Amino acid sequence: MVLTVNGKAAAVVQDAESYQQLLDHLELLESIAGIRKSIEEFEQGEGMPLKEAWKELKEKYGLPD
Protein backbone atom coordinates (compact mmCIF):
# COMPACT_ATOMS: atom_id res chain seq x y z
CA MET A 1 0.00 0.00 0.00
CA VAL A 2 1.36 3.40 -0.95
CA LEU A 3 0.33 6.41 1.09
CA THR A 4 0.34 9.74 -0.67
CA VAL A 5 0.61 13.35 0.37
CA ASN A 6 -0.64 15.89 -2.13
CA GLY A 7 -0.81 13.16 -4.76
CA LYS A 8 2.81 12.06 -4.35
CA ALA A 9 4.03 8.81 -2.80
CA ALA A 10 5.11 9.50 0.78
CA ALA A 11 5.24 6.07 2.45
CA VAL A 12 4.90 2.39 1.67
CA VAL A 13 3.18 -0.03 4.03
CA GLN A 14 3.74 -3.77 3.61
CA ASP A 15 3.47 -6.90 5.72
CA ALA A 16 6.45 -8.08 7.75
CA GLU A 17 7.03 -11.22 5.66
CA SER A 18 7.26 -9.25 2.41
CA TYR A 19 9.58 -6.74 4.05
CA GLN A 20 11.86 -9.53 5.31
CA GLN A 21 11.94 -11.07 1.84
CA LEU A 22 12.99 -7.69 0.45
CA LEU A 23 15.79 -7.41 3.03
CA ASP A 24 16.94 -10.98 2.30
CA HIS A 25 17.01 -10.27 -1.43
CA LEU A 26 18.98 -7.06 -0.88
CA GLU A 27 21.50 -8.93 1.27
CA LEU A 28 21.93 -11.55 -1.46
CA LEU A 29 22.47 -8.88 -4.12
CA GLU A 30 25.05 -7.11 -1.95
CA SER A 31 26.88 -10.40 -1.39
CA ILE A 32 26.94 -11.12 -5.12
CA ALA A 33 28.27 -7.62 -5.82
CA GLY A 34 31.04 -8.12 -3.25
CA ILE A 35 32.02 -11.47 -4.73
CA ARG A 36 32.11 -10.02 -8.24
CA LYS A 37 34.29 -7.15 -7.04
CA SER A 38 36.67 -9.59 -5.36
CA ILE A 39 36.90 -11.71 -8.52
CA GLU A 40 37.67 -8.61 -10.60
CA GLU A 41 40.38 -7.54 -8.16
CA PHE A 42 41.87 -11.04 -8.21
CA GLU A 43 41.88 -11.11 -12.01
CA GLN A 44 43.70 -7.75 -12.03
CA GLY A 45 46.40 -9.15 -9.76
CA GLU A 46 45.26 -7.23 -6.70
CA GLY A 47 45.06 -8.72 -3.24
CA MET A 48 47.57 -10.79 -1.29
CA PRO A 49 48.41 -14.45 -0.74
CA LEU A 50 46.23 -16.29 1.78
CA LYS A 51 49.07 -16.91 4.25
CA GLU A 52 49.94 -13.22 4.28
CA ALA A 53 46.29 -12.19 4.68
CA TRP A 54 45.76 -14.68 7.51
CA LYS A 55 48.90 -13.42 9.32
CA GLU A 56 47.64 -9.84 9.00
CA LEU A 57 44.18 -10.75 10.34
CA LYS A 58 45.67 -12.68 13.28
CA GLU A 59 47.83 -9.70 14.23
CA LYS A 60 45.06 -7.16 13.78
CA TYR A 61 42.40 -9.07 15.75
CA GLY A 62 44.58 -11.08 18.12
CA LEU A 63 43.45 -14.41 16.69
CA PRO A 64 45.13 -17.63 17.86
CA ASP A 65 47.33 -19.73 15.57
Q: From CA 26, how far away is CA 33, in angstroms rounded?
A: 11
Q: 63: which residues sit within 8 A by CB, 6+ positions away?
A: 57
Q: Hey, what's the torsion of the CAs at 18, 19, 23, 28, to 10 degrees?
A: 10
Q: Are 55 and 64 in contact (CB under 8 A)?
A: no
The pLDDT confidence band at residue 65, using thresholds 50, 70 and 90, is: confident
Query: What confidence tens digit (pLDDT) does each residue in 1-56 have?
Result: 999 999 999 999 999 999 999 999 999 999 999 999 999 999 999 988 899 999 99
